[in-house]
Amino acid sequence: MHENKVVAHTRTGRILKGVTTDFDPGRETFHLLPAEGGGVPVRLRVRDLKALFYVRDYMGNRDYDPPPGFGPAPPRGRRCVVTFEDGEVIFGTTPDWSPGAVGFNLYPSDPEDNNVRIFVVRDAVRDVQFPGDD
């Protein structure tokens, strides 16, 4: 089993940091082993998530100001701008967006981003745009 370092953002604003080995968007739930203090894994429901952020490290850099728009990262699929229900906007590329799916993977367009990949839950999204598909 491969451990993924993740930060789970729920639709209610809760943020949980930890490791998961069983996340599968096709399943209703998955487990998160808390990053701080270890202990008992927490069971989370996929539909309760805003997004699951696969991160390089848990600290990130709060002072980092990413460049606006699409950065120089190599594209992994279609260019995509995601606007979440809470107003957060993320630029990236998606190899697997499908209108009927539970969610999709988004790769940030900034190579300096702490997020390696983001699983975006469709029900937490206000709008998805695909610049350049016109």
pLDDT single digits (tens) 23-72: 999 999 999 999 876 678 999 999 999 999 999 988 877 777 777 777 76
Give the pLDDT confidence score for residue 74 in this predicted structure. Answer: 64
Q: Domain locations in the chain? A: 1-134
Could you tell me the pTM of the whole model? 0.90
Give the span between the Cα atoms of 19 and 81, in whole angstroms. 27
Q: Which residues contact 73 (CB under 8 A, 6 or more apart)?
A: 93, 107, 108, 109, 110, 111
pLDDT single digits (tens) 2-31: 678 999 999 999 999 999 999 999 999 999
Give the pLDDT confidence score for residue 76 in this predicted structure. Answer: 80
Could you tell me the two tokens for 84?
């979440």
